Structure 1
Amino acid sequence: MVNKEPTVRRPRGVRAGLDRDQIIAAAKTLDPAAVTMQAVAGVLGVDRKAVNHHVSDRETLLGLVAMDAFAESFSEVRFATRSHWQEACRTYAMGFAEAVIAVGPLADHLQLGNPFVTTMLEASEVIVRKLIEAGADDETALRGLVLLTNICLAHARDVIAIATTDVPPRPELLRRAMSGHSPEIPLLARIAELKVDTYDKAQLELSIDVFIAGFSRRLTDGDSPRT
Protein backbone atom coordinates (compact mmCIF):
# COMPACT_ATOMS: atom_id res chain seq x y z
CA MET A 1 0.00 0.00 0.00
CA VAL A 2 1.41 3.35 -1.03
CA ASN A 3 1.33 6.08 1.60
CA LYS A 4 0.11 9.32 0.12
CA GLU A 5 1.49 12.60 1.31
CA PRO A 6 -1.20 14.78 2.88
CA THR A 7 -2.53 17.44 0.52
CA VAL A 8 -1.19 20.86 1.40
CA ARG A 9 -3.96 23.40 1.14
CA ARG A 10 -3.28 27.06 0.66
CA PRO A 11 -4.58 29.22 3.47
CA ARG A 12 -7.80 31.12 2.95
CA GLY A 13 -9.33 34.37 4.14
CA VAL A 14 -8.21 35.83 7.43
CA ARG A 15 -6.26 32.66 8.25
CA ALA A 16 -3.86 33.45 5.44
CA GLY A 17 -2.57 36.34 7.52
CA LEU A 18 -3.04 38.75 4.64
CA ASP A 19 -3.95 42.40 4.58
CA ARG A 20 -4.52 44.87 1.77
CA ASP A 21 -1.01 46.28 1.96
CA GLN A 22 0.50 42.85 1.29
CA ILE A 23 -1.87 42.29 -1.62
CA ILE A 24 -1.06 45.69 -3.15
CA ALA A 25 2.68 45.06 -2.72
CA ALA A 26 2.34 41.72 -4.51
CA ALA A 27 0.32 43.26 -7.35
CA LYS A 28 2.98 45.95 -7.83
CA THR A 29 5.53 43.25 -8.67
CA LEU A 30 3.49 42.32 -11.76
CA ASP A 31 3.11 44.10 -15.06
CA PRO A 32 -0.24 45.96 -14.92
CA ALA A 33 -1.60 43.92 -17.83
CA ALA A 34 -0.76 40.72 -15.97
CA VAL A 35 -2.48 41.68 -12.72
CA THR A 36 -5.30 39.27 -11.93
CA MET A 37 -6.62 37.98 -8.65
CA GLN A 38 -5.13 34.55 -9.43
CA ALA A 39 -1.75 36.00 -10.38
CA VAL A 40 -1.53 37.95 -7.14
CA ALA A 41 -2.57 34.88 -5.17
CA GLY A 42 0.23 33.01 -6.91
CA VAL A 43 2.80 35.65 -5.90
CA LEU A 44 1.63 35.41 -2.29
CA GLY A 45 1.40 31.63 -2.30
CA VAL A 46 -2.20 31.58 -1.11
CA ASP A 47 -5.57 30.53 -2.42
CA ARG A 48 -7.33 33.08 -4.61
CA LYS A 49 -10.16 33.22 -2.07
CA ALA A 50 -7.70 34.64 0.45
CA VAL A 51 -7.15 37.60 -1.86
CA ASN A 52 -10.88 37.94 -2.57
CA HIS A 53 -11.48 38.14 1.16
CA HIS A 54 -9.79 41.55 1.17
CA VAL A 55 -10.28 42.77 -2.42
CA SER A 56 -13.49 41.99 -4.28
CA ASP A 57 -12.31 42.00 -7.90
CA ARG A 58 -9.57 42.91 -10.37
CA GLU A 59 -10.82 46.45 -11.05
CA THR A 60 -10.80 47.24 -7.34
CA LEU A 61 -7.30 45.81 -7.06
CA LEU A 62 -6.01 47.90 -9.96
CA GLY A 63 -7.55 50.98 -8.36
CA LEU A 64 -5.76 50.23 -5.08
CA VAL A 65 -2.43 49.76 -6.86
CA ALA A 66 -2.92 53.01 -8.77
CA MET A 67 -3.83 54.88 -5.61
CA ASP A 68 -0.80 53.48 -3.78
CA ALA A 69 1.55 54.67 -6.53
CA PHE A 70 -0.10 58.10 -6.61
CA ALA A 71 0.04 58.52 -2.82
CA GLU A 72 3.69 57.49 -2.69
CA SER A 73 4.67 60.18 -5.19
CA PHE A 74 2.30 62.92 -4.01
CA SER A 75 3.46 62.53 -0.41
CA GLU A 76 6.73 64.19 -1.47
CA VAL A 77 4.96 67.51 -2.22
CA ARG A 78 6.04 70.21 0.22
CA PHE A 79 4.79 73.79 0.41
CA ALA A 80 6.99 76.68 1.51
CA THR A 81 5.59 78.02 4.77
CA ARG A 82 5.35 81.63 3.61
CA SER A 83 4.63 80.99 -0.06
CA HIS A 84 2.19 83.23 -1.93
CA TRP A 85 -0.85 81.64 -3.53
CA GLN A 86 0.79 81.62 -6.96
CA GLU A 87 3.78 79.63 -5.73
CA ALA A 88 1.55 77.25 -3.76
CA CYS A 89 -0.54 76.58 -6.85
CA ARG A 90 2.57 75.85 -8.91
CA THR A 91 3.90 73.45 -6.27
CA TYR A 92 0.57 71.67 -6.02
CA ALA A 93 0.09 71.46 -9.78
CA MET A 94 3.56 70.13 -10.58
CA GLY A 95 3.41 67.61 -7.74
CA PHE A 96 -0.07 66.43 -8.70
CA ALA A 97 0.78 65.98 -12.38
CA GLU A 98 4.02 64.16 -11.59
CA ALA A 99 2.20 61.86 -9.15
CA VAL A 100 -0.38 60.89 -11.78
CA ILE A 101 2.35 60.35 -14.39
CA ALA A 102 4.13 58.09 -11.89
CA VAL A 103 1.05 55.85 -11.86
CA GLY A 104 1.58 55.17 -15.57
CA PRO A 105 -0.96 53.05 -17.46
CA LEU A 106 -2.97 52.52 -14.27
CA ALA A 107 -3.88 56.22 -14.10
CA ASP A 108 -7.30 55.48 -15.62
CA HIS A 109 -8.02 53.42 -12.52
CA LEU A 110 -7.61 56.38 -10.16
CA GLN A 111 -11.06 56.93 -8.74
CA LEU A 112 -12.45 59.79 -6.68
CA GLY A 113 -13.01 57.81 -3.51
CA ASN A 114 -12.00 57.88 0.12
CA PRO A 115 -8.30 56.92 -0.36
CA PHE A 116 -7.87 59.56 -3.07
CA VAL A 117 -9.62 62.29 -1.10
CA THR A 118 -7.69 61.44 2.06
CA THR A 119 -4.37 61.68 0.23
CA MET A 120 -5.31 65.09 -1.15
CA LEU A 121 -6.73 66.63 2.04
CA GLU A 122 -3.70 68.47 3.42
CA ALA A 123 -2.54 69.80 0.05
CA SER A 124 -6.09 70.85 -0.85
CA GLU A 125 -6.38 72.67 2.46
CA VAL A 126 -3.20 74.64 1.68
CA ILE A 127 -4.45 75.71 -1.77
CA VAL A 128 -7.93 76.68 -0.58
CA ARG A 129 -6.50 78.66 2.33
CA LYS A 130 -4.01 80.48 0.09
CA LEU A 131 -6.75 81.42 -2.40
CA ILE A 132 -9.04 82.65 0.35
CA GLU A 133 -6.22 84.67 1.89
CA ALA A 134 -5.65 86.19 -1.56
CA GLY A 135 -9.24 87.43 -1.62
CA ALA A 136 -11.36 84.60 -3.04
CA ASP A 137 -14.62 83.60 -1.39
CA ASP A 138 -15.12 79.98 -0.37
CA GLU A 139 -16.91 78.95 -3.57
CA THR A 140 -14.36 80.56 -5.87
CA ALA A 141 -11.50 78.95 -3.94
CA LEU A 142 -13.11 75.53 -4.34
CA ARG A 143 -13.73 76.06 -8.05
CA GLY A 144 -10.14 77.22 -8.47
CA LEU A 145 -8.83 74.06 -6.78
CA VAL A 146 -10.98 71.84 -9.00
CA LEU A 147 -9.94 73.69 -12.16
CA LEU A 148 -6.24 73.45 -11.32
CA THR A 149 -6.58 69.74 -10.52
CA ASN A 150 -8.41 69.05 -13.78
CA ILE A 151 -5.77 70.91 -15.81
CA CYS A 152 -3.01 68.80 -14.31
CA LEU A 153 -4.95 65.54 -14.60
CA ALA A 154 -5.59 66.16 -18.31
CA HIS A 155 -1.91 66.92 -18.93
CA ALA A 156 -0.74 63.86 -17.02
CA ARG A 157 -3.08 61.56 -18.92
CA ASP A 158 -1.82 63.04 -22.21
CA VAL A 159 1.76 62.26 -21.19
CA ILE A 160 0.85 58.71 -20.21
CA ALA A 161 -1.13 58.13 -23.40
CA ILE A 162 1.65 59.24 -25.72
CA ALA A 163 4.12 57.00 -23.85
CA THR A 164 1.97 53.88 -23.77
CA THR A 165 0.00 53.92 -27.03
CA ASP A 166 0.72 54.07 -30.74
CA VAL A 167 -1.09 57.38 -31.18
CA PRO A 168 1.19 59.86 -33.03
CA PRO A 169 2.04 63.19 -31.35
CA ARG A 170 -0.18 66.18 -32.10
CA PRO A 171 2.03 67.80 -34.80
CA GLU A 172 2.03 64.54 -36.76
CA LEU A 173 -1.73 64.17 -36.38
CA LEU A 174 -2.11 67.75 -37.59
CA ARG A 175 0.11 67.16 -40.63
CA ARG A 176 -1.84 64.04 -41.53
CA ALA A 177 -5.15 65.86 -41.19
CA MET A 178 -3.97 68.64 -43.50
CA SER A 179 -2.34 66.40 -46.10
CA GLY A 180 -5.46 66.14 -48.22
CA HIS A 181 -7.21 69.28 -47.09
CA SER A 182 -8.18 71.94 -49.58
CA PRO A 183 -7.90 74.92 -49.51
CA GLU A 184 -4.59 75.21 -47.71
CA ILE A 185 -4.46 76.25 -44.05
CA PRO A 186 -1.20 78.24 -43.93
CA LEU A 187 -0.96 79.08 -40.23
CA LEU A 188 -1.63 75.55 -39.05
CA ALA A 189 0.76 74.22 -41.70
CA ARG A 190 3.50 76.48 -40.41
CA ILE A 191 2.82 75.55 -36.81
CA ALA A 192 2.77 71.84 -37.58
CA GLU A 193 6.26 72.06 -39.04
CA LEU A 194 7.59 73.37 -35.72
CA LYS A 195 7.10 69.87 -34.26
CA VAL A 196 6.52 71.31 -30.80
CA ASP A 197 6.38 68.74 -27.99
CA THR A 198 3.08 69.58 -26.30
CA TYR A 199 3.56 66.80 -23.75
CA ASP A 200 6.56 68.30 -22.00
CA LYS A 201 6.99 70.27 -18.79
CA ALA A 202 6.80 73.56 -20.70
CA GLN A 203 3.24 72.71 -21.74
CA LEU A 204 2.20 72.13 -18.14
CA GLU A 205 3.95 75.32 -17.03
CA LEU A 206 2.04 77.27 -19.68
CA SER A 207 -1.24 75.80 -18.42
CA ILE A 208 -0.37 76.79 -14.84
CA ASP A 209 0.60 80.30 -15.98
CA VAL A 210 -2.76 80.70 -17.72
CA PHE A 211 -4.58 79.47 -14.61
CA ILE A 212 -2.72 81.91 -12.36
CA ALA A 213 -3.27 84.82 -14.76
CA GLY A 214 -6.97 84.01 -15.03
CA PHE A 215 -7.43 83.60 -11.30
CA SER A 216 -5.56 86.84 -10.66
CA ARG A 217 -7.98 88.60 -12.98
CA ARG A 218 -10.91 86.98 -11.19
CA LEU A 219 -9.60 88.30 -7.88
CA THR A 220 -9.05 91.75 -9.37
CA ASP A 221 -12.59 91.85 -10.76
CA GLY A 222 -13.82 91.14 -7.25
CA ASP A 223 -11.81 92.02 -4.19
CA SER A 224 -8.20 93.09 -4.66
CA PRO A 225 -5.85 90.12 -4.17
CA ARG A 226 -3.81 90.20 -1.01
CA THR A 227 -0.23 89.02 -1.52
Structure 2
Amino acid sequence: MPTTHAKRPVRAIGVHAGLTLDRIIAAARSMTPDELSMQALARRLGVDRKAINHHVSDRDTLLGMVAMDAFATSFSAVEIAHQADWEEACRTYAFGFTDSAIATGVLADRIRLTDPYVTQILEPTEAVLQKMVEAGFDDESAMRTLSLLTNICLAYARDVVIELRSGVTPRTEILRGALEQRDAAKFPTLARIAELTVTTYDRRQLEMSVELFIAGARDALHLQTVRAQA
Protein backbone atom coordinates (compact mmCIF):
# COMPACT_ATOMS: atom_id res chain seq x y z
CA MET A 1 0.00 0.00 0.00
CA PRO A 2 1.52 3.35 -1.00
CA THR A 3 1.88 5.83 1.77
CA THR A 4 -0.45 8.75 1.41
CA HIS A 5 0.33 12.20 2.75
CA ALA A 6 -2.32 14.72 3.64
CA LYS A 7 -1.93 17.84 1.57
CA ARG A 8 -0.94 20.91 3.55
CA PRO A 9 -3.64 23.56 3.16
CA VAL A 10 -2.57 26.37 0.89
CA ARG A 11 -2.47 29.69 2.69
CA ALA A 12 -4.36 32.40 0.89
CA ILE A 13 -2.41 35.41 -0.34
CA GLY A 14 -2.18 38.00 2.40
CA VAL A 15 -2.88 35.51 5.17
CA HIS A 16 0.63 35.45 6.55
CA ALA A 17 1.46 35.15 10.22
CA GLY A 18 -1.85 36.69 11.17
CA LEU A 19 -1.58 39.55 8.69
CA THR A 20 -4.76 41.63 8.79
CA LEU A 21 -5.72 45.10 7.68
CA ASP A 22 -5.73 46.26 11.31
CA ARG A 23 -2.18 44.99 11.76
CA ILE A 24 -1.09 46.71 8.54
CA ILE A 25 -2.58 50.06 9.63
CA ALA A 26 -1.04 49.77 13.10
CA ALA A 27 2.40 49.18 11.59
CA ALA A 28 1.92 52.00 9.07
CA ARG A 29 1.01 54.42 11.87
CA SER A 30 4.34 53.63 13.55
CA MET A 31 6.16 55.05 10.51
CA THR A 32 6.40 58.64 9.33
CA PRO A 33 4.62 59.48 6.05
CA ASP A 34 7.97 60.21 4.40
CA GLU A 35 9.39 56.77 5.18
CA LEU A 36 6.17 54.90 4.53
CA SER A 37 6.08 52.88 1.34
CA MET A 38 4.56 49.54 0.48
CA GLN A 39 7.99 47.90 0.42
CA ALA A 40 9.15 49.53 3.67
CA LEU A 41 5.95 48.44 5.36
CA ALA A 42 6.38 44.90 4.09
CA ARG A 43 9.88 44.82 5.61
CA ARG A 44 8.53 46.21 8.90
CA LEU A 45 5.95 43.42 9.02
CA GLY A 46 8.30 40.73 7.76
CA VAL A 47 6.11 39.76 4.82
CA ASP A 48 6.24 39.89 1.05
CA ARG A 49 4.92 43.08 -0.54
CA LYS A 50 2.25 41.03 -2.34
CA ALA A 51 0.79 40.18 1.05
CA ILE A 52 0.34 43.91 1.71
CA ASN A 53 -1.20 44.43 -1.74
CA HIS A 54 -3.79 41.78 -0.93
CA HIS A 55 -5.24 44.22 1.62
CA VAL A 56 -4.17 47.64 0.28
CA SER A 57 -3.72 48.44 -3.39
CA ASP A 58 -1.17 51.28 -3.23
CA ARG A 59 0.62 53.85 -1.06
CA ASP A 60 -1.94 56.61 -1.58
CA THR A 61 -4.73 54.33 -0.39
CA LEU A 62 -2.59 53.29 2.57
CA LEU A 63 -1.90 56.90 3.59
CA GLY A 64 -5.61 57.65 3.40
CA MET A 65 -6.37 54.70 5.66
CA VAL A 66 -3.71 55.79 8.14
CA ALA A 67 -5.14 59.32 8.19
CA MET A 68 -8.71 58.13 8.74
CA ASP A 69 -7.66 55.61 11.39
CA ALA A 70 -5.82 58.30 13.38
CA PHE A 71 -8.68 60.77 12.94
CA ALA A 72 -11.44 58.31 13.80
CA THR A 73 -9.61 56.98 16.85
CA SER A 74 -9.39 60.49 18.29
CA PHE A 75 -12.78 61.83 17.22
CA SER A 76 -14.71 58.76 18.35
CA ALA A 77 -13.83 59.73 21.94
CA VAL A 78 -15.66 63.08 21.64
CA GLU A 79 -18.78 63.09 23.80
CA ILE A 80 -21.72 65.45 23.40
CA ALA A 81 -23.04 66.26 26.87
CA HIS A 82 -26.58 64.98 27.43
CA GLN A 83 -27.70 68.34 28.81
CA ALA A 84 -26.10 70.41 26.02
CA ASP A 85 -28.32 72.39 23.66
CA TRP A 86 -27.73 72.26 19.91
CA GLU A 87 -25.37 75.24 19.94
CA GLU A 88 -23.11 73.78 22.61
CA ALA A 89 -23.28 70.42 20.87
CA CYS A 90 -22.02 72.07 17.67
CA ARG A 91 -19.15 73.69 19.56
CA THR A 92 -18.12 70.38 21.13
CA TYR A 93 -18.36 68.64 17.77
CA ALA A 94 -16.39 71.37 15.98
CA PHE A 95 -13.51 71.57 18.44
CA GLY A 96 -13.28 67.79 18.74
CA PHE A 97 -13.37 67.33 14.98
CA THR A 98 -10.74 70.01 14.38
CA ASP A 99 -8.35 68.78 17.08
CA SER A 100 -8.66 65.23 15.75
CA ALA A 101 -7.92 66.39 12.19
CA ILE A 102 -4.90 68.45 13.31
CA ALA A 103 -3.61 65.43 15.25
CA THR A 104 -3.18 63.55 11.96
CA GLY A 105 -0.48 66.08 11.03
CA VAL A 106 0.60 66.09 7.41
CA LEU A 107 -2.08 63.53 6.63
CA ALA A 108 -4.91 66.01 7.31
CA ASP A 109 -5.31 66.50 3.55
CA ARG A 110 -6.05 62.80 3.22
CA ILE A 111 -9.04 62.71 5.56
CA ARG A 112 -12.01 61.53 3.52
CA LEU A 113 -15.34 61.21 5.31
CA THR A 114 -16.51 58.63 2.77
CA ASP A 115 -14.07 56.03 4.05
CA PRO A 116 -15.19 52.94 6.02
CA TYR A 117 -13.63 54.47 9.15
CA VAL A 118 -16.60 56.85 9.30
CA THR A 119 -18.44 54.06 11.13
CA GLN A 120 -16.20 54.81 14.11
CA ILE A 121 -17.42 58.40 14.41
CA LEU A 122 -21.15 57.81 14.18
CA GLU A 123 -21.78 58.44 17.89
CA PRO A 124 -20.78 62.14 18.07
CA THR A 125 -22.38 62.77 14.67
CA GLU A 126 -25.66 61.15 15.72
CA ALA A 127 -25.62 63.09 19.01
CA VAL A 128 -25.22 66.53 17.44
CA LEU A 129 -27.77 65.84 14.71
CA GLN A 130 -30.26 64.67 17.32
CA LYS A 131 -29.76 67.90 19.26
CA MET A 132 -30.38 69.91 16.11
CA VAL A 133 -33.54 68.01 15.17
CA GLU A 134 -34.87 68.34 18.72
CA ALA A 135 -34.29 72.12 18.43
CA GLY A 136 -36.46 72.32 15.32
CA PHE A 137 -34.16 71.71 12.34
CA ASP A 138 -35.72 69.37 9.82
CA ASP A 139 -33.58 66.42 8.74
CA GLU A 140 -32.32 68.02 5.52
CA SER A 141 -31.46 71.32 7.20
CA ALA A 142 -29.62 69.51 9.99
CA MET A 143 -27.62 67.47 7.49
CA ARG A 144 -26.68 70.47 5.35
CA THR A 145 -25.85 72.62 8.36
CA LEU A 146 -23.59 70.02 9.94
CA SER A 147 -21.92 69.42 6.58
CA LEU A 148 -21.05 73.12 6.46
CA LEU A 149 -19.59 72.99 9.97
CA THR A 150 -17.51 69.95 9.04
CA ASN A 151 -16.11 71.76 5.99
CA ILE A 152 -15.21 74.80 8.12
CA CYS A 153 -13.36 72.65 10.63
CA LEU A 154 -11.52 70.57 8.05
CA ALA A 155 -10.37 73.65 6.11
CA TYR A 156 -9.12 75.29 9.31
CA ALA A 157 -7.28 72.13 10.38
CA ARG A 158 -5.52 71.87 7.03
CA ASP A 159 -4.48 75.54 7.25
CA VAL A 160 -2.99 74.95 10.71
CA VAL A 161 -1.04 71.91 9.52
CA ILE A 162 0.37 73.88 6.58
CA GLU A 163 1.50 76.65 8.94
CA LEU A 164 3.09 74.18 11.34
CA ARG A 165 5.03 72.54 8.52
CA SER A 166 6.20 75.76 6.87
CA GLY A 167 6.83 77.84 9.98
CA VAL A 168 5.20 80.85 8.31
CA THR A 169 1.65 82.11 7.82
CA PRO A 170 1.12 81.32 4.13
CA ARG A 171 -1.89 83.58 3.63
CA THR A 172 -0.03 86.66 4.90
CA GLU A 173 3.14 85.84 2.96
CA ILE A 174 1.18 85.37 -0.26
CA LEU A 175 -0.61 88.70 0.21
CA ARG A 176 2.62 90.59 0.92
CA GLY A 177 4.32 89.00 -2.06
CA ALA A 178 1.45 89.94 -4.34
CA LEU A 179 1.46 93.56 -3.13
CA GLU A 180 5.20 93.84 -3.77
CA GLN A 181 4.52 93.13 -7.43
CA ARG A 182 1.83 95.81 -7.70
CA ASP A 183 1.39 99.41 -6.63
CA ALA A 184 0.34 98.91 -3.00
CA ALA A 185 -1.13 102.42 -2.94
CA LYS A 186 -3.95 101.14 -5.15
CA PHE A 187 -4.88 98.58 -2.48
CA PRO A 188 -4.84 100.57 0.79
CA THR A 189 -7.03 98.15 2.73
CA LEU A 190 -5.03 95.11 1.73
CA ALA A 191 -1.78 96.96 2.44
CA ARG A 192 -2.91 97.76 5.98
CA ILE A 193 -4.05 94.21 6.59
CA ALA A 194 -0.78 92.82 5.28
CA GLU A 195 1.08 94.70 8.01
CA LEU A 196 -1.04 93.32 10.85
CA THR A 197 0.53 90.87 13.27
CA VAL A 198 -2.79 89.01 13.48
CA THR A 199 -2.74 85.40 12.34
CA THR A 200 -5.75 83.58 10.95
CA TYR A 201 -4.26 80.24 11.98
CA ASP A 202 -4.76 80.61 15.75
CA ARG A 203 -7.48 79.22 18.00
CA ARG A 204 -9.31 82.52 17.99
CA GLN A 205 -9.89 82.13 14.27
CA LEU A 206 -11.53 78.76 14.82
CA GLU A 207 -13.67 80.07 17.66
CA MET A 208 -14.79 83.02 15.53
CA SER A 209 -15.65 80.71 12.64
CA VAL A 210 -17.72 78.43 14.87
CA GLU A 211 -19.60 81.35 16.44
CA LEU A 212 -20.37 82.86 13.03
CA PHE A 213 -21.60 79.45 11.92
CA ILE A 214 -23.85 79.15 14.96
CA ALA A 215 -25.24 82.66 14.47
CA GLY A 216 -26.07 81.87 10.85
CA ALA A 217 -27.59 78.50 11.75
CA ARG A 218 -29.68 80.18 14.46
CA ASP A 219 -31.06 82.66 11.92
CA ALA A 220 -31.74 79.84 9.45
CA LEU A 221 -33.64 77.91 12.13
CA HIS A 222 -35.72 80.99 12.97
CA LEU A 223 -36.56 81.51 9.29
CA GLN A 224 -37.50 77.86 8.92
CA THR A 225 -39.82 78.13 11.94
CA VAL A 226 -41.48 81.31 10.62
CA ARG A 227 -42.09 79.72 7.21
CA ALA A 228 -43.53 76.60 8.83
CA GLN A 229 -45.98 78.72 10.83
CA ALA A 230 -47.08 80.86 7.86
Alpha-carbon shift at residue 165 of structure 1 (Å): 4.0
The 2-side partners of 1:178 and 1:88 are apart by: 42
Contact 1:171 1:192 in 2 (8 A): yes
How far apart are residue 167 of structure 1 and its match? 6.7
Change (3 A) 1:187 1:114: closer
Deviations 1:141-199 (A, max 9, x none): 11111000011011111111222247753223222222242343222222222121111
Question: CA deviation digits over 1:97-130, x for unaligned, max 9?
Answer: 1111111111222223342321232111112111
User: Is 2:161 the counterpart of 1:160?
Assistant: yes
TM-score normalised by the chain length of structure 2: 0.86
How many correspondences in the alignment?
214
Q: What letter matches 2:212 in structure 1?
A: V
Q: Return 5+ residue gaps in structure 1 as ranges.
A: 1-10
Q: What residue is the counterpart of 2:191 in the other structure?
A: 189
1:97 aligns with 2:98: yes
Q: Which runs of structure 2 are paired with 1:1-227 in the superposition (5 Å)?
A: 13-165=14-166, 168-182=169-183, 183-223=185-225
Q: How far, CA to CA, are the matches of 2:170 and 2:102 in structure 1?
A: 17
Q: Which amino acid in 2 is paired with 1:127?
A: V
Q: Deviations over 1:71-98 (max 9, x none)?
A: 1211221111110111000000011111
- CA distance in structure 2 between the aligned counterparts of 1:194 and 1:221, rounded to whole angstroms: 37
Match of 2:8 in 1: none
Quick one: percent identity of the two aligned structures?
A: 56
Aligned to 1:8: none
Q: Within 1, Cα distance between the matches of 2:52 and 2:173?
A: 45
Contact 1:27 1:40 (C-alpha < 8 Å) held by counterparts: yes
**Aligned mates of 1:143, 1:74 — CA distance in 2:** 20
The answer to whether the 8 A contact 2:76-2:123 is kept is no
User: Distance between the aligned counterparts of 1:111 and 1:222, measured in 2?
Assistant: 31
Give TM-score, length-normalised by structure 1.
0.87
